[in-house]
Chains A and B, each alone.
Chain A
Amino acid sequence: NAGVTQTPKFQVLKTGQSMTLQCAQDMNHNSMYWYRQDPGMGLRLIYYSASEGTTDKGEVPNGYNVSRLNKREFSLRLESAAPSQTSVYFCASSETGQGFSPLHFGNGTRLTVT
């Protein structure tokens, strides 16, 4: 089992460029999440998908869109990147999406927007 796989690991964009961060899990989990982590800020939720076919905004959704392509895959898109989106992005999954189901994280995508 690979767990949660994120691609790419690193990316540099110019302001205004677009890109999609990919995330896939092989644990048959129902819920998936996208977080961003900035120095001293902990992890902040961007979007989540409680189950296949549903997506909802988290704490910091502005500037992002998501697609739950199927049960395995949950992608995060930046349509027009801004320097404020420079961050480390983590994808996570959870078996049931309830409090008793721990989150499983990927190793992150480090994004720099110049």
Chain B
Amino acid sequence: LAKTTQPISMDSYEGQEVNITCSHNNIATNDYITWYQQFPSQGPRFIIQGYKTKVTNEVASLFIPADRKSSTLSLPRVSLSDTAVYYCLVGDISAGGSYIPTFGRGTSLIVHP
């Protein structure tokens, strides 16, 4: 099974930059790395996705080294509303060739005033 490993929890303060690293040593050659954010009582929500190098959108940046065995989600200047659980996701391929999105246990980020 594709497996991701992330820190269980992180603490930060408003206005700081937060970096969450995920390791995915068995990532498939053609797979993408996708990050999701989840608030209590809601389903996960897509944040950002990348294949290699760096991707940036309006909410985050994603850094992927050349070997693609890890990735780092960077949240600039966090606010209290960024308190959530963050998941990185890679996939497995079934015997029938279907892509199976596989979640790890996520990182619980708490932002303090």
Residues of B within 8 A of A43 (CB): 44, 87, 103
* A103-B101 in contact (CB<8A): yes
Residues of A within 8 A of B45 (CB): 105
A56 at the A/B interface (Cβ < 8 Å)? Answer: yes
Q: How many A-B residue pairs have CB under 8 A?
A: 68
> Interface residues of A, CB < 8 Å — how many?
28
Binds B, one of A62-70, A73-81, A93-101: A93-101
* A56-B98 in contact (CB<8A): yes
Residues of A within 8 A of B87 (CB): 42-43
B3 to chain A, nearest CB (A): 11
- Distance of A102 Cα from B36 Cα, bound (Å): 9
B113 at the A/B interface (Cβ < 8 Å)? Answer: no
Map CB proximity to A onto B38-55 as digits: 1 under 8 Å, 0 otherwise.
000111111001010000
Chain A's closest residue to B46 (CB) is A102
B2 to chain A, nearest CB (A): 10
* B43-A105 in contact (CB<8A): yes
- In the complex, chain B residues 50-107 whose Cβ is within 8 Å of any chain A Cβ: 51, 87, 89-91, 94, 96, 98-106
- Distance of A78 Cα from B64 Cα, bound (Å): 41
* B101-A42 in contact (CB<8A): no
Residues of A within 8 A of B49 (CB): 100, 102
Task: List 8 A-B residue pairs with CB atoms under 8 Å apart, sorted by A's residue number.
Answer: A35-B103, A43-B87, A45-B101, A59-B1, A99-B90, A103-B36, A103-B89, A107-B41
Which residues of B line the A interface, CB within 8 A?
1, 28, 30-32, 34, 36, 41-46, 49, 51, 87, 89-91, 94, 96, 98-106
